[in-house]
């Protein structure tokens, strides 16, 4: 698979997998609040809404640009190819969690102003989504599809 195809799949992972994982995490944390207890259809609908939410654009759009470029450079290094897969996945989970929490940071900040603060939930959802997405991207860059 060519590096440009891997970048496209990285972007698709961030546009499809990350929002679905983030919303699923929110629904698992508070099913009644997010409509997950009523319908499975609520998760994909909320994931689309999450991508369209403007507070996230300031961090999400730059991430969509920077991560594929960074992954292409990292995947080209000898260290990326030499490190054992369990360590690569562990590292990608940690880095992805930090990046994901930063991407949802503005939403968490806005949520912290409410009396029923969901800031920790949004940070958790971002961390889980970032960890899963970066692990998938590492696997794509390491082994293809």
> What are the per-10-residue average pLDDT scores of the chain (145 residues)?
84 94 89 70 85 84 94 93 94 97 91 82 95 96 82
Non-local (6+) Cβ contacts of 36 within 8 A are 24, 27, 28, 42, 43
pTM across the whole model:
0.90
DSSP state of 75: H
The tokens for 10 are: 């990285």
pLDDT of residue 36: 61
pLDDT of residue 63: 94
pLDDT of residue 130: 97
pLDDT of residue 10: 93
Alpha helices (runs of H) in 13-118, residue ranges in sequence order: 18-29, 31-34, 42-52, 54-75, 78-82, 85-103, 105-111
- Rounded Cα gap, residues 101 and 122, in angstroms: 8
- Rounded Cα gap, residues 130 and 10, in angstroms: 12
């Amino acid at each position: 698979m060519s590096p440009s195809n891997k970048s496209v799949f990285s972007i698709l992972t961030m546009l499809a997998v990350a929002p679905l994982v983030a919303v699923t995490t929110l629904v698992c944390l508070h099913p009644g609040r997010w409509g997950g207890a009523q319908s499975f259809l609520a998760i994909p609908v909320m994931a689309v809404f999450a991508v369209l939410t403007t507070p996230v654009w300031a961090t999400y759009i730059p991430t969509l640009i920077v991560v594929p470029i960074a992954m292409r450079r990292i995947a080209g290094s000898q260290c990326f190819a030499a490190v054992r897969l369990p360590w690569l996945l562990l590292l990608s989970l940690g880095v992805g969690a930090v990046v994901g929490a930063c991407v949802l940071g503005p939403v968490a900040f806005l949520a912290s102003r409410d009396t029923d603060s969901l800031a920790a939930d949004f940070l958790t959802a971002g961390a889980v989504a970032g960890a899963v997405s970066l692990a998938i991207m590492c696997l794509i860059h390491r082994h293809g599809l």
